[in-house]
Chain A
Amino acid sequence: MEGMTTDPEAHGLSIYASLEELVICRNLNPRTRAKTVAEVTIAIADGDLLHSPIPDGMTHHDWWTAPYDLIPVARIVKEGGTP
Chain B
Amino acid sequence: MMRYESLELLGSPFKIVDTYVYDEGPQTFAMRSVGIPDLYYFVNTVDEDDDSLTALSVAVSGDRYRAVRSGLVEFRDAFTRAGAQALTFITWSWSSGSAEPMISMQIVSGMDVSDDWLPVVGVRLDLRTDTLPAYDEAELVSLSQAQNRTVFALEVGASGRLTSELPLRAAGELQGFLNGGVEALARSAARRAKKTAKASIRPVKGSTQSRVVAEFTPLSLGTRAASYVFVMAIDSGGALEATEVSAAAFEDLNGLVRAVNSENSASLLAAMRRQPARVRSNFSHLLTALTGIDSGLTVAASIANSNSIIRSSATASQVRYASDAIKSAKPKLKLVEIRRGVLTGHILASRTFVLTDLASGITYRGHMEDEAALQANGLPVGDSSFVSGRVRVEIPFAADEDESGRTCMLETLASSDS
Which A residues have a C-beta under 8 Å from some C-beta of B?
Answer: 9, 14, 24-33, 54-56, 83
Contact = CB atoms under 8 A, between A and B. Distances in A.
B28 A28 contact: yes
Given A29-B21, A31-B27, A56-B20, A24 B47 contact: no
In this complex, which of B20, B24, B119 has the most chain A Cβ atoms within 10 angstroms of its Cβ? B20
Interface stretch (B120-128, B196-204, B274-282): B120-128
A31 B123 CA distance: 15
Contact of B21 (A9, A25, A83): A25
Interface residues of B, number: 26
A29 to B, nearest CB: 4
B172 to A, nearest CB: 33
Contacts of A30: 44, 46-47, 116-119
Interface string B219-230: 000000000000
B45 A55 contact: no
B44 A14 contact: no
B417 interface: no
B19 interface: yes
Interface in B53-93: 75
8 contacts: A26-B21, A28-B75, A28-B123, A29-B44, A29-B46, A32-B27, A54-B20, A55-B20
B48 interface: yes
A78 to B, nearest CB: 12
Contact of A29 (B24, B119, B124, B127): B119
Given A56-B126, A56-B127, A83-B120, A28 B18 contact: no
Nearest to B53: A31
Given A25-B20, A31-B48, 19 more contacts: A9-B24, A24-B123, A24-B126, A27-B119, A27-B120, A28-B20, A28-B28, A29-B27, A29-B46, A30-B44, A30-B47, A30-B116, A31-B27, A31-B46, A32-B23, A32-B27, A54-B22, A56-B20, A83-B121
B23 A14 contact: yes
Given A54-B22, A55-B19, A55-B20, A27 B46 contact: no
A33 B116 CA distance: 9
A37 B27 CA distance: 18
A25 B126 CA distance: 10
B162 to A, nearest CB: 12
Contacts of A56: 20, 125-127
Contacts of B126: 24, 56
A72 B387 CA distance: 89
Contacts of B47: 30-31
Give the interface centre of B18, B22, B24 by most chain A CB atoms within 10 Å.
B22
A62 to B, nearest CB: 11
